[in-house]
């Protein structure tokens, strides 16, 4: 794929990607870290995790038309990843490299998928809550949590005392925590 002069991503012999293809690509790219963690948990600390993830990405791209947009993309992607991990383990068993119990893998996969989905839901809630912050609050949080960010660096950039920045960051984190919990509970308060 390359980017045309007009800035649109293009496939090898096609025009600009459709909106649906761009959306699918964005979903696949944004799910890489949780998918890697999911696969790594199921496969273990072997070098084949990247290969399995690459296969999963290819399948997600090829079968993207099957994802109807209803439901959570990451749950669907984890199901695809589970099937690829299963195929990987069966191949390794055939090669007599390892023994695996499919029922144990299935139980573990279900649990791990739920945890990945829970984390994904929290991240979605966090994104929404960040969008609700006042611009100055959002800027302060983003400065603090960028690579190499610290309260001291934020204080320097905003020309404020470090203690004041720490107190403000603490208050903003409290606001975000409450917002996330409300969002996850469907707006209901305890």
Please count the CA atoms within 13 angstroms of the CA of 125 that sit on its side-chain side.
19
- Please enumerate in sequence order all residues whose Cβ is within 8 A of that of 18, keeping only pairs 6 or more positions apart, or say none: none
Reported as a single tens digit per residue, the pLDDT across 76-113 is 898 899 889 888 877 777 666 555 555 666 666 666 76
- Please enumerate in sequence order all residues whose Cβ is within 8 A of that of 80, keeping only pairs 6 or more positions apart, or say none: 56, 59, 60, 63
**Cα 109–112–115 angle (5° rounding)?**
150
Reported as a single tens digit per residue, the pLDDT across 123-135 is 778 888 988 999 9
Does residue 10 carry a pLDDT above 50? Answer: no
DSSP state, 17?
P
Please classify residue 127 by burial: count the beta carbons closer than 10 Å to its beta carbon, then call 0-12 exposed, 13-18 middle and 19+ buried.
exposed
What domains can be seen in the chain, in order of their start residue? 17-120 (1.10.1740), 133-190 (1.10.10)
């Amino acid at each position: 794929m390359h980017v045309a002069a007009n800035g649109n991503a293009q496939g090898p012999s096609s025009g600009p990607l459709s909106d649906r293809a761009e959306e699918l690509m964005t979903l696949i790219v944004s799910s890489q870290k949780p998918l890697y963690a999911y696969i790594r948990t199921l496969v273990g600390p072997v070098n084949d995790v990247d290969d399995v993830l690459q296969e999963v990405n290819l399948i997600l791209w090829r079968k993207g038309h099957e994802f109807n947009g209803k439901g959570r993309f990451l749950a669907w992607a984890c199901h695809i990843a589970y099937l690829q991990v299963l195929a990987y383990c069966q191949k390794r068993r055939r090669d007599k490299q390892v023994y695996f119990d499919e029922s144990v893998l299935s139980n573990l996969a279900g649990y791990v998928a739920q945890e990945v989905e829970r984390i994904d839901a929290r991240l979605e809630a966090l994104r929404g809550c960040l969008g609700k912050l006042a611009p100055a609050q959002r800027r302060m949080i983003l400065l603090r949590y960028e690579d190499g960010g610290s309260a001291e660096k934020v204080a320097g950039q905003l020309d404020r005392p470090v203690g004041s920045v720490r107190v403000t960051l603490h208050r903003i984190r409290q606001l975000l925590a409450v917002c996330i919990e409300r969002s996850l509970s469907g707006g209901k308060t305890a």
